[in-house]
Amino acid sequence: MRGYTSDKDAVLKRLRRVEGQVRGLQRMVEGDEYCIDVLTQIAAATKALQAVSLNLLDEHLKHCVADALAEGGEGADAKVREASEAIARLVRS
C-alpha cells in the first residue's frame, strides 16, 4: 500500500463495507434466518473481498512491480515471482 494514498481511501471504504456485511451475517444467524439467504450474503461478502484483492493486485503491478522492473536486476525477478505467487493464492482461495 506504500504511498498509494489515492486508492487507500477507496480500499478502506470497501473494507468497512465488508465489515458491515460480516456483522450483518452475524445478525442473520442470530435471528435464525434461512440458511440459503445467509449463503447468498456470504457469497456477496466473498465477492467484495475478491474485488479488493484484484484492486490491490492491479495497483501492485502498476507500482511496485513496474518500479522493480524499471530498476532491473534480481529484484525485478523476485517481485514478479512474488506477484505470481500472490495471484496463485488468490486463484486458489
CA distances from 32 to 9, 15, 16, 24, 85 (A): 35, 26, 25, 12, 40
- Binding mask 14-43 vs its own copies (x if CB under 8 A, - otherwise)? -xx-xx--xx-xx-xxx-xxxxx-xxx-xx
The Cα diameter of the chain in Å comes to: 57
Contacts with its own copies by CB under 8 A lie at: 1-4, 8, 11-12, 15-16, 18-19, 22-23, 25-26, 28-30, 32-36, 38-40, 42-43, 45-47, 49-50, 52-54, 56-62, 64-66, 69-70, 72, 76-77, 80-84, 86-93
